[in-house]
Amino acid sequence: MKVITREITISSRRRREVINISDKVEEFIKDSGIKNGLVLIFLPHATAGLFANEDEPRIRKDYETLFERLVPVNGDYEHNKIDNNADAHLLAALFKQFYVLPIVNGELVRGTWQELFLADFDGPRTRRIVLVVIGE
């Protein structure tokens, strides 16, 4: 069994932005040479999240509408007395900071409409993502 780790960076250009990272994860899996195992996708940040869903321009707008409905940017937040990103922390708390997905026959297993997204809630920033493949 092998364990291979890679850190990648993703830069957002807006405060709230969803970025499709599927290609980067799949490229890492190909490069790793692992045919069967698991990939861990870990986002070491407190104001961003990961999710798996469809990538299509209109649903991307709907994601942004959902974020604003769940946690409006301009709310009355305690954390904003010491920082100006309470909404970003709260949204990140509702999302995941990691995924573990299967690799079978050298391919990442995911649903047809499951693209992997990094959702930055406090951009523009450069975000780190740690990828770990475990398998053989």
List Cβ neighbours of 127 (8 Å cut-off, separation of 6 or more): 9, 10, 11, 12, 43, 45, 48, 118, 120
Under the binding rule (CB under 5 A), the answer on residue 23 touching Zn ion is no
Which CB atom, from 95 or from 99, has the smaller least distance to Zn ion? 95
Closest distance to Zn ion from the beta carbon of 2 (Å):
38
Using CB atoms within 10 Å of the CB of residue 96, give its burial: 0 to 12 exposed, 13 to 18 middle, 19+ buried. Answer: middle
56 lines the binding site for Zn ion (CB under 5 A): no
Residues 77-136 that bind Zn ion (CB under 5 A): 83, 85
Q: How far is the CB of 83 from Zn ion (least distance, A)?
A: 3
Residue whose Cβ sits closest to Zn ion: 83
Q: How many residues interact with Zn ion (rule CB under 5 A)?
A: 2
d(CA 89, CA 92): 5
Nearby residues of 81 by Cβ (< 8 Å), 6 or more positions away: none
Q: List interacting residues with Zn ion (CB under 5 A).
A: 83, 85
